[in-house]
């Protein structure tokens, strides 16, 4: 059964999209530029929360946190979102703004961890010290 967001969540998400923080804007550009295949959306209602960024395709939520975060309430929020089948990555604002490449590497690792593209085992004899 699909969970629909509570009443008013869509309106609140639209308002948040219209008024992003500097770090959210930077993350949005990073996701659109570096990870278009994941099809991230911004300010996405999930259960009774609004995730900063979510890829339904990769089942990955990204939260960009300022100083007001890091509380027990955030742990509960993460647990509820994870119960919906998503993984949650959290980045501090200063990391998004000051370490764009590091943030991109961690997102890339998370995306590939979730969607591995295993290679087939090598079937030939390979190279050895013996020559024919």
The pLDDT > 90 percentage for the chain reads 54
Higher pLDDT, 83 or 20: 83
Q: Are 42 and 28 a contacting pair, CB within 8 Å?
A: yes
Q: What tens digit of pLDDT does each residue of 40-90 get?
A: 999 998 888 889 999 999 999 999 987 665 677 788 889 999 999 999 999
The residues near 67 (Cβ < 8 Å, ≥ 6 apart) are none
pLDDT of residue 77: 87
Q: Are 102 and 75 a contacting pair, CB within 8 Å?
A: no
Rg over alpha carbons for the chain, rounded to the nearest Å, is 19
Q: Are 110 and 90 a contacting pair, CB within 8 Å?
A: no
Question: Of 37, 38, 41, 63, which Cα lies nearest the Cα of 54?
Answer: 41
Say how far residue 50 (Cα) sits from the centre of its chain: 13
Higher pLDDT, 125 or 24: 24
DSSP state of 35: -
Q: Kindly tell me if the per-residue pLDDT of 34 is higher than 90.
A: yes
Half-sphere exposure (Cβ direction) of 48: Cα atoms closer than 13 Å: 3
Q: Show me where the domains of the chain are located.
A: 22-114
What average pLDDT does the segment 97-104 reach?
A: 95
For domain 22-114, the CATH architecture is: 3-Layer(aba) Sandwich (3.40)
pLDDT of residue 17: 62
pLDDT of residue 10: 60
- Is the pTM for the entire model greater than 0.85? no
């Amino acid at each position: 059964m699909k969970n629909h967001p509570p009443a008013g969540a869509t309106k609140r998400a639209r308002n948040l999209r219209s008024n992003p923080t500097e770090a959210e804007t930077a993350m949005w550009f990073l996701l659109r530029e570096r990870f278009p295949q994941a099809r991230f959306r911004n300010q996405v209602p999930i259960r009774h929360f609004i995730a900063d960024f979510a890829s339904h395709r990769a089942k990955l939520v990204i939260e960009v946190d300022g100083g007001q975060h890091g509380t027990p309430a955030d742990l509960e929020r993460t647990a509820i979102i994870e119960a919906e089948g998503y993984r949650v990555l959290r980045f501090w604002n200063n990391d998004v703004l000051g370490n764009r490449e590091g943030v991109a590497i961690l997102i890339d690792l998370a995306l590939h961890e979730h969607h591995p593209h295993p290679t087939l085992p090598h079937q030939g004899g390979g190279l050895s010290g013996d020559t024919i």
